[in-house]
Every structure is written in C-alpha cells, then in structure tokens.
Structure 1
Amino acid sequence: METTHLGKTSALPASPDVAALDYVPNPRPGELYMVRFAAPEFTSLCPVTGQPDFAHLVIDYSPGETIVESKSLKLLLGSFRNHAGFHEDVTVGIGKRLADEMAPRWLRIGGYWYPRGGIPIDVFWQSGPPPAGLWLPDQGVAPYRGRG
C-alpha cells in the first residue's frame, strides 16, 4: 500500500482539508483489539477571537481492514494549529473523518478542552456501540480542576 508520508519528509499541512491520512493493512485482521492515540497538546483557533484553544484528545478505535498510519495522523492533528473551529466541530470532525475513511469496527474520540472563559468543554463522539468483548479502558483524563 502506497503511503504519502511514511519514510518521507513531510511538511505540516496548511489546513485539515488538505491533510492526507494514510491507512495501511491491519496486521491482525479478524482480531478484536483496541488502538489508542493520545494528543495531550492539541491546538486549534477560536473561530470568534482567533485566540488559541488547547485540548487533550484521546482517540480509541478497533481496527477493521486498515489502521491509520501514525505520522499522517500527527500531521493532520498539527494542521489544526491555524484552523478556526468550535470545540464540538473540531472534535467530532476528526472522529467522523477517521471513521468514514478508515472504516474501523468502532471508534470514539474524547476532546478534553482547557477552559475558555473559565469553562472547560469536553466533547465526546463515537461511531456506534462498541463491539461485544472489546476491552474499553477509561480514557484517563482527569476532570479539569484549575490550579487544584
């Protein structure tokens, strides 16, 4: 399977719309397992003020025929640095794009956004009910407690 980024020098895409995600064959087809990606330093821009927004994203999925290549996912997530979008649109958009393109058995994304105006916003989306027997660990992101 030809990849756009793997083993090549790749610049950060200018926007999520032009970011290419690469998928490779699942090395364990038929096995029920879960893959987790955590992006604790995700950034995008507020569509109203243009100020940066920060989030801890957790993406869990159970592969179907393919898996997402991690370098291409990292580049996609980095492309949001200069992208303006509400927390809900950004979080759900990433989850839907992965689910639509990769066609996993199941996928969920948790977007744990740091406070904007004093209110943290957490956004969750999943592609449907998880497959029976799939181990679903907690996403491990503590509720926001300020300085604590």
Structure 2
Amino acid sequence: MSKEIYKGLQQLGSKSAAPQSPEEAVLEYVPNPRAGTDYLVRFTCPEFTSLCPVTGQPDFAHLVLDYVPADMLVESKSLKLFLQAFRNHAAFHEDCTVGIAERLVEEMKPKWLRLGGYWYPRGGIPIDVFYQTGEAPAGVWIPEQGVANYRGRG
C-alpha cells in the first residue's frame, strides 16, 4: 500500500500539543484503503474526562465509538487529541457525547456510526448516553459494546 494516503497529516509522527478546546481540535482523515468493503472500526476511550458546567468538577466516562467507514477513516492520533480537548471543556454528558458523534458524522461521513457514552455517577446517578445514525449496514458484524451497567464496587 502506498504511503500517499498519509500525506498531509500534520499530527501523526510529530509532536502535537493538546488542543485547549474541542472547537480548536483538528480531526484528520485518511482515505479508506478498503472503501469497497463494509467493516467495523471500534475506538474505546475508557478514561474520557470533561467538566461539569455547573460545578466545574471533573466528569469521567468510558466511550465506545463504532463506525462503518465510507470513503474516509479518522486518524487515531487526531481522535485522541480531540477527545483530550474535552478535559477543560464544561458541558453536560449529553452535549459531550452527542457533540463528538455529530462532529465525526459531519466531517467523516461514515456509512454508519454509534457512540456509547458510559458516564460514571454524578450525584450518585450514572448517566449513559447513546447516539446512532440509523440501521447498521446489512452483513457487518457489529458486536455489543461490552460495557456493563454501573454497579459500584460490588
């Protein structure tokens, strides 16, 4: 495979500072080398953090991103930096989860995408937020996300 698909990437292979906000973060994409084949890509971010917009206290989540690419793939380092940009971002769980998914859908234009946001308890109540673009393409193996409901330490 030609390395031509990696030309133009600014973050991969170079020192990249963490963006200060999700809006400042640059998501980079590469052409899908298997564009004629439907398959699933999964990214798991078990240590996602953002800030409560009311108290400023940190919120923690386990994110599972599944997508069936069309013409483009999201470059993983840029995705990592994008998610890291939420560390100082104040927003409710729903806004973070849906905003991440909507930006990826808008820019990458996958055939299908779902994002599970499994948030740890705030005020004693865990909040899970799910986003999906529609029905998954027929014939693609879509495993369960495998994140158990929050049960505390017991």
TM-score (ref. length: structure 2): 0.94
Q: What are the residue-to-residue correspondences of 1:127-146 with 2, within 5 Å?
A: 127-146=133-152
Residue number in structure 2 paired with 1:89: 95
Q: Distance in 1 between matches of 2:118 and 2:140?
A: 23
**1:69-99 CA distances to partner (integer Å, 9 max, x unpaired)?**
0000000000000000000000000001001
| Residue number in structure 2 paired with 1:112 | 118
Deviation at 1:4, TM superposition (A): 2.2
Matching of residue 121 in structure 1 with residue 118 in structure 2: no
Aligned residues: 148
1:12 equivalent in structure 2: 18
**Alignment pair present for 1:99 and 2:111:** no
Percent sequence identity over aligned pairs: 70
Q: Structure 1, unaligned stretches of length 5 or more?
A: none
TM-score relative to the length of structure 1 = 0.98
Which of the pair is proportionally richer in strand? 1
**Which runs of 5 or more residues in structure 2 are unaligned?**
1-6
Letter of the 2:134 counterpart: G
SS at match of 2:120: strand
Aligned equivalents of 2:134, 2:31: Cα separation in 1:
22
Q: For the residues of structure 2 that align with 1:24 and 1:135, how far apart are their CA atoms? A: 23
Equivalent runs, 1:46-65 vs 2, <5 Å: 46-65=52-71
- For the residues of structure 2 that align with 1:6 and 1:144, how far apart are their CA atoms? 35
| Root mean square deviation, CA, Å | 0.7
* Residue 71 in structure 1 maps to residue 62 in structure 2: no
How far apart are the structure 2 equivalents of 1:107 and 1:100? 11
Partners of 1:134 and 1:85 in 2: CA distance: 33
Alpha-carbon separation, structure 1, partners of 2:153 and 2:35: 45
SS in 1 for 2:106: helix
In structure 2, give the amino acid aligned to 1:73. L
